[in-house]
Amino acid sequence: MAAPLAIRHSPPPTDGVRLSDAKIIRHNPPFVPTMPCPALHFYRHGFNAMGSPCEIHLYSPSRPTANAAIQAVVTDVLRLEARYSRYRPDSDLARINAVAHQGGAIRVDDETRYLLDYADTCYRQSDGLFDITSGLLRQAWQFESGQLPDQARIDALLETVGWHRVRWEAPWLAFGVAGMALDLGGIVKEYAADRAAMLCRNLGLAHGLINLGGDIRVIGTHPDGRPWRLGLQHPRQPGQLIDTVNLRHGGLASSGDYARCMVVDGRRYGHILNPRTGWPVDGLAAVSVWAELCVVAGSASTIAMLKGREGIQWLEALGLPCYWVDVDGKRGGHGLSTDPADV
């Protein structure tokens, strides 16, 4: 395996216009600044995209500037949803998957190339655990039924899973086995959060926060320098927080085993599936990771979950600040401020 630090330096670009498992992060309402900031006013806008409730929190000198930023962000997020949603038959991803189903080849555009390059990096850095072809395995798992899938069904799906079955020589993508499909859900929402922050900064806004269904990207602190306080949902107590963290910049993303799951004979089966076995991962209940880019935080938190208890050591070696909870309730982490006095 290549040095894990390489994942930190390989996110898709977020400069220029070319460019879900549910998360466990929620952020509290913004504070009213304790220091006078007469030139800036607070604006909040909520909308739905990518199957999630989303929020934009901005400090702006004027309503027109805030509206311009909000419109730019919402437009771009919806653009990315239209391009890469696995639920839309007219999406670019649907066109790619139509070719994948036939075992064919397709030329992709620059933005898709950036995302596939990053997915390839994650695959290599995770020893093959972060695999954008593994979404097909969800077909075997009906968590609402409360019944475990038939192993034969899983085995049949595994025959069409594996990034190693794909030949990726940008800009050409070729599928070596018919019946495959890609799912970019583990990358696109976080990538959209990074782009949203960039769009706001391009309009001169330096204070705010983007929340796309729990994938967080900080534009900048509150105007008085205070960080944003973010609540981490308890993985075993719905509606309860297990801790809070302070963020001044960068992105925060989380993965967990509780959003879509079932309990059979006392054992919990979550929605994060090991692409090698087709079965849910075990060991960690929830992981939150900070990185300069939300897309890096998101892939790192997912990889840690996929690695199980070994994910803790992997995160430590990676050097990214994190907070984790294992299935026994033990919690730990490093590098993230959880001190309420650190404001």
Average pLDDT over residues 98-109: 98
If we measure between CA atoms, which residue out of 231, 223, 245 comes closest to residue 34? 223
Average pLDDT over residues 27-55: 75
CA-based Rg of the chain, rounded to a whole angstrom? 20
Q: What is the mean pLDDT of the chain?
A: 89
Cα–Cα distance between 306 and 125 in angstroms, integer?
12
Q: Please state the pTM of the whole predicted model.
A: 0.89
Tell me whether the omega of the peptide bond preceding residue 171 falls within 30 degrees of 0, making it cis.
yes
Cα–Cα distance between 168 and 166 in angstroms, integer?
6
Q: Are strands 41-49 and 52-60 parallel, antiparallel or unpaired?
A: antiparallel
Average pLDDT over residues 4-21: 35
Among all chains, which residue has been given the structure tokens 């190339």? 113
Average pLDDT over residues 3-23: 34
3-state secondary structure of 7: helix
Dihedral through CA 90, CA 93, CA 94, CA 99, nearest 10?
Answer: 130
Q: Which residues of 118-137 are buried (b: 16+ CB within 10 A; e: fewer)?
A: bbbbbbbbbebbbbbbbbbb
Amino acid identity, residue 191? Y
Cα–Cα distance between 343 and 340 in angstroms, integer?
7
pLDDT in tens, 173-226: 999 999 999 999 999 999 999 999 999 999 999 999 999 999 999 999 999 999
If we measure between CA atoms, which residue out of 20, 31, 17 comes closest to residue 294? 20
pLDDT in tens, 69-96: 999 999 999 999 999 999 999 999 999 9
Q: Which residues of 140-158 are buried (b: 16+ CB within 10 A; e: fewer)?
A: bbeeeeeebbeeeebeebb
CA 203 to chain CA centroid, Å, is 25
Domains of the chain, first to last: 40-82+185-225 (3.10.520.10), 92-175 (1.10.3980.10), 227-332 (3.10.520.10)
3-state secondary structure of 296: helix
3-state secondary structure of 141: coil
